[in-house]
Amino acid sequence: MPDNPHSLFETWFAEARAAEANDPEAMAVATTGPDGQPSVRMVLLKGHDERGFVFYTNLESRKAKELASTPRAALLFHWKSLRRQVRIEGLVERVTDAEGDAYFATRSRDSQLGAWASDQSRPLDSRATFEARYDAVRQRFEGKDVPRPPHWSGFRVVPERIEFWQDRAHRLHERHIFVKREGGWDEGMLYP
């Protein structure tokens, strides 16, 4: 077992990319609202390194508002074909504008236009309204590069705790836990 959870994550993530048929980068993100109500949804991991795990969203979405009021989150990767999970908990910070711009530039044009057209998490009276907004945005940027909207960016979950769970026969699973400390990580095991 490596003494650095980021190297172990990279190994497991590479194996998931090879084994999972659909969205190995899919992760559940759990947040908490100002009223203490938890909320969880699936998003896609768009980057990870020693600094943390990055995803992008509309800054007016429910998750972004919850992260603004309570900047902590939990992530969960579940790779069913490998019978593995990775749980991550930590503080949350916004990515830099340069990081947001760089990632936005890699998105398909339709996804870029969709970021401008969507009022994510807010009520929508009909699909036709959204499609009309999308068409208006498409016309607005016809023949031009689509810049990152000011209401769209990313978040980095800076891990304080990372758990690796491996399925074993008879529910005798294997759980390895890493807890951040000054200058490194403490590593141990948990009962299944």
Other C-beta atoms closer than 10 Å to the C-beta of 59 total 20
Say which amino acid occupies 27. M
Under 8 Å between Cβ of 175 and 190: yes
Q: What is d(CA 78, CA 82) in angstroms, rounded to the nearest whole number?
A: 9
Catalytic residue from among 127, 171, 175, 181: 171
Residues constituting the chain:
192
Which of 50, 84, 91 lies closest to 185, judged by CA?
Answer: 50
- The reply to whether 171 belongs to the active site is yes
Kindly list the catalytic residues.
171
